[in-house]
A and B are shown apart, each in its own frame.
Chain A
Amino acid sequence: MKLAIRNLRKEYNSDNRGTFVALDRLDLEVAEREFVSILGPSGCGKSTLLEIIAGLQEQTSGDIITDGCPIIKDSNKAQNVVKKTAIVFQHYGLFPWLTVQKNIEYGLKIRGIESKKRHEMAMHHIEMVNLQGFEKFYPHELSGGMQQRVALARALVNSPDLLLLDEPFAALDAQTREICQRELLKLWQRMKITIIFVTHDVGEAIFLSDKVVVMSKEPGRVREIIPIDMPRPRDFSVRLKEEFRKTEMSVRLMISEKEVQYG
């Protein structure tokens, strides 16, 4: 799925802050099958942006066009658009009353897929995120990292065209995170999907992406877009290359400059 965001603006109205502009004049193009990472300081509107793209919140103005069709936020009509888009939330949003397996099956059930097939697909994805043996556990019985992987499996099982990931690996230990990064890249290549990936980890963003979007804060907008041209498939040795470290350094500088300015 390809995506064009034009002149997007999002205001929040709250009692204590009045009208707050979370996103303003935000433009972004995402090509078919592109892997795009978004970096930016806390509160710059990354999660807000993903939710608008997923049709879960309504923008104040501006357009989002997917494959040529604008996204409309409408609680019931949202289904049409949303079916092809999956989102993994920063705070997972797993259903506490469903087991790992039932959580993963949820989207399939909504679409009326019969239980045997659901079970099969869920099991396959449980294996993929390495949670065999935890099918019957409830979310609160899992660690944060495990919950995150359930959330990932729950999104992937719906075979989306566009996958929105909000800091999906933040709660993982370094080792699991590396495994997940590699798995995600494989999956992305195999399933030929478009991914928008929010993270605070500069190295992760560069390693995974075709391009890195750096956002600035108050109001949230795109500050810089850095294309990453390193050849694929990439393994972890690219992190040692001069090119990688130069890019990483310049992105880091870019972010910290901003923070000093607003400090």
Chain B
Amino acid sequence: MAKGRFSNMFGRLLLKSLLPLSILILWKLAVTFGDIPSILLPKLEKVGADFVKYLLNGELIHHMTVSLRRCAIGFFFGSAAGVGLGVLLAWFKSLEVFFDVTLNFSRAIPKTALAPLLIVWFGFGDFPKILLIGLAAFFYTVIPTLEGVGNVDNLLVKSARSMGANDRQILFGVLLPAAMPSIYAGIRIAATSSFVILLFVEIISGNSGLGFLLEDARESLNTSTMFMTLIVVGILGFTLDWLVRYTEKKVMPWQKGKTISR
């Protein structure tokens, strides 16, 4: 039985790594035997060498920290504001009516479309980038929060009231946890899109950051550096996704095993 389990696991691992390995081998073969200019597809070794070079001279860490910092600040303040306003709007119905048109109109504008304007207003520094990410995170969280809190089963509120809960206890002890699945869905989209928007805005207006590294590599026709950056970006994106799902389980332990069965 144990052996069967092991060979099963081993088989799965093999199956999982089959495609990425074949891609690497194909890459290697194409560069070695194909007549492909290195500006289109650099040698694998060159990508690796670039990675070591940028790691050792500290540039990679520098651009990574700059990017992650922008992303984190924008995401944090944006989604905090989004959740905060969402809760307020759900609590005070007239406030929701007041904000309704404005919110739904500005939500409909893709946030990346605001980049040129923000650059005109605030230049090429950190602030417009963080602001753009913040705006996106805000709009991705405010509506799910509003809807999540608004749709909480009234029975839960009655339950808490019948045991003597006051408004504050209802808000923090009932409405927020009950709406958490919805709020968190918004936070998840906000987190992943923060990263997307960050790269976009760094590419079009960067002087630092991973997006800038990509654009800089394009200008100097340094394709291997581009590939290296893409792989780093991929790893970061992957980690971000994992982090979001991990915290979801921590924040909402009761949701475990409640997923839709497939």
Of B155, B162, B167, the residue contacting A91 (CB under 8 A) is B155
Cross-chain contact of B163 among A91, A106, A138 (Cβ < 8 A): A106
- Chain A residue numbers with a CB within 8 Å of B257 are 141
**Chain B, range 157-200, C-beta contacts under 8 Å to A:** 158-167, 169, 173-174, 177-178, 180
- Are the CB atoms of B169 and A93 closer together than 8 Å? no
Chain A residue at minimal CB-CB distance from B170: A75
CB distance A93 to B161 under 8 Å?
Answer: no
Tell me if B156 counts as interface (CB < 8 A to partner A). yes
Cβ of B33 within 8 Å of any chain A Cβ, yes or no, is no
Interface of B is mostly: helix
Within 8 Å by CB of A83, from B158, B164, B173, lies B164
A106, B158: Cβ atoms closer than 8 Å: no
Q: Report B209 CB to chain A, min CB distance, Å.
A: 38
Q: Are A97 and B254 in contact (CB under 8 A)?
A: yes
A54 contacts chain B at the CB level, 8 A cutoff: yes
**Which A residues, 64 to 121, have Cβ-Cβ distances below 8 Å to chain B?**
75-76, 78-79, 82-83, 85-87, 89, 91, 93-98, 106-107, 110-111
Q: Are A97 and B161 in contact (CB under 8 A)?
A: no
The number of residues on chain B lying at the interface, defined by a beta carbon within 8 Å of a beta carbon of chain A, is 23
Q: Given the known inter-chain contacts A95-B177, A97-B252, A140-B254, please indicate yes or no for A51 contacting B164, CB distance below 8 A.
A: no
User: Among the interface residues A86, A93, A111, which one has the most CB atoms of the partner chain B within 10 A?
Assistant: A93
Cβ proximity bits A148-162 to B, threshold 8 Å, 1 near / 0 not: 000000100010000
A side interface size, CB within 8 A? 30
User: When the two chains form their complex, are residues B167 and A93 in contact, meaning their CB atoms are under 8 A apart?
Assistant: no
The answer to whether B162 touches A87, judged by C-beta atoms less than 8 angstroms apart, is yes
Give the residue of A75, A91, A138, A140 whose beta carbon is less than 8 angstroms from that of B161.
Answer: A75
Question: Is A78 touching B156 in the complex (CB atoms < 8 A)?
Answer: no
> Are B254 and A79 in touch, CB under 8 angstroms?
no
Q: Write out the residue numbers on chain A whose beta carbons fall within 8 Å of the beta carbon of B158.
A: 51, 56, 89, 93
Which residues of chain B are near A138, meaning CB under 8 Å? 254
A-B contact pairs, 18 of them (CB 8 A): A55-B161, A56-B161, A75-B161, A75-B167, A78-B161, A79-B166, A82-B163, A83-B164, A85-B162, A89-B155, A89-B159, A93-B153, A95-B159, A97-B177, A98-B254, A106-B173, A107-B163, A111-B164
Binding site for B on A (CB under 8 A): 51, 54-56, 75-76, 78-79, 82-83, 85-87, 89, 91, 93-98, 106-107, 110-111, 138, 140-141, 154, 158
Given contacts A54-B162, A89-B158, A110-B169, 16 further A-B contacts (CB under 8 A): A55-B162, A82-B162, A82-B164, A93-B153, A93-B156, A93-B159, A94-B159, A95-B160, A96-B178, A96-B254, A106-B163, A110-B164, A110-B165, A111-B164, A140-B258, A158-B163
